[in-house]
């Protein structure tokens, strides 16, 4: 059931980690990158890797991720990073439409842990209006 996939963003995150980019060096890479996938990989690394940035830097990464919520969530889903998805949802609450879209992506990627988390999120936040699950 586990499906291995590696998008360009996931690959770039690994490259940034391998090169040990943190702090100001990571921020400089984020600010100067021309490609959006490089910026997204740097923002995800800076936001979710402990010790990679201070509060001001994480704020700048978060501002960027607010405009790229779905691609950020998909990159986290590809690596099955449910805890980081939870953190992203706390910072940028997912809409009903976003949750539905991410559920389909999790199903397509073969990520049952993410799908279960999204189903729980949908149930607790929005409910299932189109179905009656009473016994």
pLDDT, tens digit (0-9, with 9 covering 90-100), for 22-81 = 899 999 999 999 999 999 999 999 999 988 889 999 999 999 999 999 999 999 999 999
Domains: count for the chain: 1
Per the structure, the complete domain to which residue 43 belongs is given by 8-93
Q: Is residue 123 part of a domain?
A: no
Task: List the end-to-end C-alpha distance of the chain, in Å, as a whole number.
Answer: 30
pTM reported for the whole predicted model = 0.85
Q: Is residue 44 part of a domain?
A: yes
Residues with Cβ within 8 Å of 111's Cβ and at least 6 positions away in sequence, in order, are: 3, 77, 78, 80
Q: Is residue 3 part of a domain?
A: no
**Given this model, what pLDDT does residue 135 score?**
58
What does the mean pLDDT of the chain come to?
Answer: 89
Q: How crowded is the C-beta side of 103, counted as CA atoms within 13 Å?
A: 15
Residues with Cβ within 8 Å of 9's Cβ and at least 6 positions away in sequence, in order, are: 37, 40, 41, 44, 71, 75, 78
Q: Is residue 116 part of a domain?
A: no
Average pLDDT over residues 94-114: 95
Rounded to an integer, what distance in angstroms lies between the CA atom of residue 42 and that of residue 132?
A: 43
Average pLDDT over residues 100-116: 95
**Given this model, what pLDDT does residue 14 score?**
87
Q: Is residue 38 part of a domain?
A: yes
Q: Is residue 18 part of a domain?
A: yes
Cα 56 to its chain centre, rounded Å, is: 20
- For residues 70 and 36, the answer to whether their CB atoms sit within 8 Å is no
Place of tokens 């999204």: 118
């Amino acid at each position: 059931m586990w499906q291995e996939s590696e998008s360009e963003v996931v690959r770039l995150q690994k490259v940034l980690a391998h090169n040990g980019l943190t702090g100001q060096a990571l921020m400089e890479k984020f600010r100067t990158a021309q490609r959006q996938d490089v910026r997204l990989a740097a923002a995800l690394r800076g936001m979710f890797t402990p010790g990679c940035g201070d509060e001001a830097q994480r704020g700048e990464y978060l501002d960027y991720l607010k405009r790229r919520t779905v691609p950020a969530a998909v990159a986290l889903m590809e690596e099955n990073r449910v805890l980081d998805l939870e953190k992203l949802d706390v910072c940028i609450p997912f809409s009903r439409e976003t949750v539905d879209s991410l559920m389909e992506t999790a199903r397509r990627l073969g990520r049952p842990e993410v799908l279960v988390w999204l189903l729980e999120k949908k149930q607790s936040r929005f409910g299932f209006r189109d179905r009656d699950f009473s016994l």
